[in-house]
Amino acid sequence: MNARPRLRAAVRWIAVVIAGLVLLELGARGFLWIRGHPYDASEVRSEVARVLRAERERAGAREARADRADTDEDMEGSPTQRYLHPYTAWETARGFGDLDEYSRSLGSEDGDTVEVLILGGSVAEDFGRADGAARLGEILRADPSFQGKKVRFLRFGREGYKAPQPVNLLVYLLDLGFEPEVVIHISGSEDLALGSDNAAAGAHPVFPANVHWSKLAVWGTSDRNALDATLAVRRTRRNLERWGGLMLDWGLARSALLGYSARRHFLDLRDELASQAKACEDYLANVSSRRSLRGPSSIGDPSQVLGESVRAWEEGSRCLHGICGGRGILYVHVLPPALHDQGSKKLTAQEIERGRAPASWVRGIGLGYPLLRRKGQELAARGIDFVDASLLFEDVTDDVYVDALDFGPAGQRMLAEKIGQAVLQRWPMKH
Amino acid sequence: MSVPDPTASRVRRRLGILAMQVTFALAGLALLEVGTRGYLWMRGKPYDAVEVRRQAQHLPRVNREFLPKEVQDQADAAPVSVDAISLHPYLGWEIDTGSDQIDGTIRSLEAQADPVPFRIVVVGGSVASAFCVAHARDNTLVECLSSDPEVPPRVYSLLNFARGGFKQPQQVNFLVYLLSLGFKPDIVINIDGFNEVALGMYNQTQGSHPVFPSAAHWSNLVAQGASDDAALDLMGEIRDSQRAIESWSERFTDWNLERSALIGSLALKRMLKLRGEIVSRFEGYARHLAEREEMLHMHGPRIEGDDQSTIEACVRVWKESSRSLHDICREHGILYLHVLQPTLHDKGSKPVTTRESEHGSMIDSWMRGVELGYPRLRREGQDLRRLGVEFVDASMLFANHPEELYYDACHFVDAGHVLLAKQICRELQRCLKKGR
């Protein structure tokens, strides 16, 4: 008896609620129309999809950076792409591959193979990979003291390396079981140019080249604030994705009332994410620059900067000499020529054009090379086999340099002759 | 005759029941408290409120950073550094206070002290670092060196360049870095061995080569920041547990929970459980990073083979790096002393006490590293001597010491550091008298 009135009441209530919702929906649409922003469901949907896509792309970019690749030189995926290394600051993709390849033959070398390890920066890298090593191999094999021997080059010159990176690299290779018989260390120009460049960027000259290191070392901190800031970004991003997914999957945008409110919340989350990400990046940049990027407190006086670079170069040579000496390895330290070393070569118009470099490089090499030559004499007096090749191109009038530091095949072959001579002079004493 | 007010009597009755309930509850709690204390006493571990409070305050400190730290529960243990770490281009990573130390060292060079101190640099891992911290309290090594009439009188300065988690070749690189900055020590003492075999073996389980720095530190730094979402979520769980431990510790301090054996024990148990969660979640996180095999910069060269070949790699890294340190020191006229540290799980190296046994547990890979590695380190140490390295095998230093010296699997209390300092002093006196 009582069921029917109750049912009627329930239906009435449902109808009231639905009517209320419809009224609210119409009211919301009317309100937005009067305010000059008529509600457009498809626009809301595409806006949500657009924000989600942008955030995913941003997150993807951050992931790529977290993989510690130095990617802003159009060389992503290339052999020269740099990755963090615990002892030499970075290593290239090709370098990792080379090490893998060389390691496979560890312990299987026959007694007839002489392993020649090449260390240093870009000049050493070019020398090892191109005409320099090839010519040096010819020179060595042609000498009676190398009769019946094979010469194998271990190419570990790396663009941008400077002291003490070659020392750490040799220590690392010896720990892995490498046993080279000759170490040729070609260094000087990058030690000065990049050391000076570091100081200009507020980094210590003994730290690795700031231009590479600063890109790799961002995020390299474990403090809780950095973590919490990162995690806050992650949580908000997850909320944003969840909310956006909800809006798209449930079609909330169809209703002006729900779509408008949901969109407001979604955009609030996006703004929150942007400000959290900014705060996080700022914090990490600040922390990283203080602790990891710059090294010891910077020094301002240019003469002090040069002094630091020259000392690191000298110490690097002494450390390498000590390590090699203890193992009976022939160590030859070569000071290569550099375009901005005044008076070291009559430059051609093309070389002047190609040799343009940052002022810090020019200043570092211009002021530093005379110091390196003098220090080189001191190294030689200490018993280090030091080869001053800085004036190798003094009488050459042709094009040799391809940029401010590196030279082409003709220059490489000339350097190989000089190094070959030095190795052959010392080789019999070692054997 | 007045009629009793039924409402008032009902209220009185209810109040009486309530009072009885409160009394029973209090009596029950008191009984539980007494029972807990009695139970703990019968189990031979009487409740110690001071110790419980100390542990409750200590736990958040060791969890201050992302990486779980060893829990020290020995009052006289030299504290192991709990600094945050950041990437370093030549050392893999450096503690944040290390940057200030380097700045201070450079400034001290400019200060030109008179007389110029005789600089003793200590390198190695956490045991070497704790050795320096203990030395700052008792000065055993310097006093011992100064007491020898045959050693010329000097002002000694002992500098701690050892870092928790460091292993070779980080020690070599540290010296090279210091020399590059213009700092030349007079003596270098390298106290190592444990990390090289234990962390080297752990590295292998994580897919990393033993020559690379401790995977627990390095992989985390390399992957940190934005890495993949799964890694971030795992990190988030760890941070939640870390924050929970901190909240519990604050409650402990604010409400003096340690006053009750029952509540204090339960709260501490909860904190230790959270600590366990952190460690196991961190292991999960490390495993997750280890699975990212494509990242050569995270794991280093590929290593294949069994435990034996891994140990050979660990020992070679240890030996070759020591040779490099020796050669660099010789070139610079620096006296180099290489000390193989003792460690609890090196069989026969010490009569282990019950408490040492209880507190000395460690993960399987560390255990295998020590068991397989220490005999090899001793043998290769002899070869180092033949090569001219001043090698000191201190691995059996505690062989005749039944007293408690270890507070965990590898760190020792001050008494252990004093014994080590005395042995190092004897060796240094011998070398200095030789005029090296």
pLDDT of residue B402: 96
- Please report the pLDDT score of residue A223 as a whole number: 62
On average, the pLDDT of chain A sits at 87
**pLDDT above 70 for A216:** yes
Q: Do B236 and A86 touch (CB under 8 A)?
A: no
pLDDT of residue B81: 46
Are residues A208 and B89, on separate chains, in Cβ contact within 8 Å?
Answer: yes
Percent of chain B residues topping a pLDDT of 70:
89
Query: Looking at residue B225, what is its pLDDT?
Result: 46
| Cβ–Cβ gap B99/A171 under 8 Å | no
Partners of B93 in beta bridges: B87
- Across the interface, whether the CB atoms of B169 and A221 are under 8 A apart is answered no
With an 8 Å Cβ cutoff, are B297 and A284 in contact? no
* Token pair 């794991």 in the structure block, residue: B299
- CA A323 to chain B, closest CA, distance in angstroms equals 5
Distance from the Cα of A302 to chain B's closest Cα (Å) equals 16
Q: Which residue has the higher pLDDT, A389 or B56?
A: A389
The model scores a pTM over 0.90: no
In contact, B277 and B283? CB cutoff 8 Å? no
Q: Which of B95, B181, B289 to mutate to test the interface with A (most CBs of A within 10 A)?
A: B181
In this prediction, residues B161-173 reach a mean pLDDT of: 97
- For residue B360, the SS3 value is coil
Do residue B327 and residue A325 have CB atoms under 8 angstroms apart? Answer: yes
How close, in Å, is residue B325 to chain A by CA atoms?
Answer: 8
Kindly report which listed range (A375-389, B121-135, B226-240, B313-327) carries the lowest average pLDDT score: B226-240
Name, in order, each residue with C-beta under 8 angstroms of A430's C-beta and a sequence gap of 6 or more: A181, A328, A330
Average pLDDT over residues B244-258: 87
What tens digit of pLDDT does each residue of B405-422 get?
999 999 999 999 999 999
Q: How far is B272 from chain A (nearest CA, A)?
A: 20
For residue B86, give the chain A residue with the closest CA.
A221
- pLDDT tens by residue, A106-121: 776 677 899 999 999 9
Where b means 16+ CB within 10 Å and e means fewer, B49-88 reads: eeebbebbebbbebbebbbbbbbbebeebbebbebbbbbb
CB contact under 8 A, B64 and A224: yes
**% residues pLDDT > 90 (chain B):** 52
User: Which of the pair, B150 or B394, is modelled with greater confidence?
Assistant: B394
* CB-based contact A174 B103, cutoff 8 Å: no
Q: Which residue of B has its CA nearest to A227?
A: B225
Side chain identity at B198, as an amino acid letter? A
Q: Which helix (H) or strand (E) holds B268?
A: helix B261-290
CB A343 within 8 A of CB A194: no
pLDDT at A46 (0 to 100): 86
| pLDDT of the residue at A49 | 87
B105, B168, B170, B176, best to mutate vs chain A, most A CBs in 10 Å: B176
Q: How far is the alpha carbon of B345 from chain A, nearest alpha carbon, in Å? A: 26
- Please compute the mean of the pLDDT values over residues A11-27 and round it to a whole number: 91
Query: Considering only alpha carbons, which residue of chain B is nearest residue A81?
Result: B297
Check residue A190 and give its pLDDT.
Answer: 95
Q: Please check the confidence at residue B178 and state whether its pLDDT lies above 90.
A: yes
The Cα A242–Cα A238 span in angstroms is: 6
pLDDT higher than 50, residue B394: yes
Residues of A in contact with B176 (CB under 8 A): 164, 167-168, 171, 315-316, 319
CA–CA separation, A98 and A92 (whole Å): 10
Contact A319 B177 (CB under 8 A): no
- Model pLDDT for residues A261-306, shown as the tens digit of each residue: 888 899 999 889 888 887 877 776 666 556 677 888 766 676 788 9
Q: How much is the pLDDT for A429? A: 62
Q: How far is B305 from chain A (nearest CA, A)?
A: 14
Predicted pLDDT of residue B71: 47
| Closest alpha carbon within chain A to B64 | A224
pLDDT of residue A37: 81
pLDDT at B45: 81
In this prediction, residue B103 carries a pLDDT of: 84
Quote the CA–CA distance of A389 and B109 in Å, as a whole number.
34
Kindly report the nearest CA distance between residue B182 and chain A, in angstroms: 7
* pLDDT digits 0-9 by tens, A108-158: 667 789 999 999 999 999 999 888 999 999 999 999 999 888 999 999 999
What pLDDT shows up at residue B112?
67
**What's the confidence (pLDDT) of residue A299?**
67
Q: Give the nearest partner residue to B295 out of A67, A291, A322, using CB atoms.
A: A67
B235 and A318 in contact by Cβ < 8 A?
Answer: no
Could you count the other beta carbons within 10 Å of the beta carbon of residue B241? 20
- Asked, as a colleague might, if the bond just before B68 is cis with ω within 30 of 0, I would say no
Between A65, A66, A175, which is nearest B321 by CB? Answer: A175
Least CB–CB distance from B239: residue in A227, A308, A321: A227
Q: Would you say A205 and A309 are in contact if contact means Cβ atoms under 8 Å apart?
A: yes
Is A223's CB within 8 Å of B96's CB? yes
B127: nearest Cα among B217, B193, B213: B193
Predicted confidence band at A54 (pLDDT cuts at 50, 70, 90)? confident
Tokens of B6: 């039924």
Whether B240 shows a pLDDT value over 90: the answer reads no
Q: Which of B180, B235, B302 sits opposite A100 (nearest CB)?
A: B302
Q: Which residue has the tokens 């390590």?
A: A323
Query: For residue A254, what pLDDT is reported?
Result: 87
Contact at CB, B86 and A291, closer than 8 angstroms:
yes
Q: For residue B233, what are its two tokens?
A: 């979520």
Q: Which segment of A153-162, A204-213, A314-323, A338-347 scores lowest on mean pLDDT? A: A204-213
Residues A175, B213: C-beta atoms closer than 8 Å: no
Our CA-based measurement puts residue A375 at a distance from the nearest CA of chain B, in whole angstroms, of 15
- In which band, very low, low, confident or very high, does the pLDDT at B395 lie, cut at 50, 70 and 90? very high
Asked whether residue A329 carries a pLDDT value surpassing 90, the answer given is yes
Q: Say if the Cβ atoms of B180 and A163 lie within 8 Å.
A: yes
Instruction: Give B-chain residues touching A230 at CB under 8 angstroms.
Output: 224-226, 232, 235
- Which two tokens mark A138? 């010819």
Contact A222 B227 (CB under 8 A): no
> B108: Cβ–Cβ under 8 A, 6 or more apart, which residues?
none
| Structure confidence at residue A290 (pLDDT) | 61
Token pair in block for residue A377:
């004499």
Interchain CB distance below 8 Å, A319 and B86: no
Mean pLDDT across A155-174: 97
Segment among A94-103, A107-116, B38-47 with least mean pLDDT: A107-116
Does residue B341 or residue A291 have the better pLDDT?
Answer: B341
Examine the pLDDT at B436 and tell me if it is beyond 60. no
Structure confidence at residue A277 (pLDDT): 80
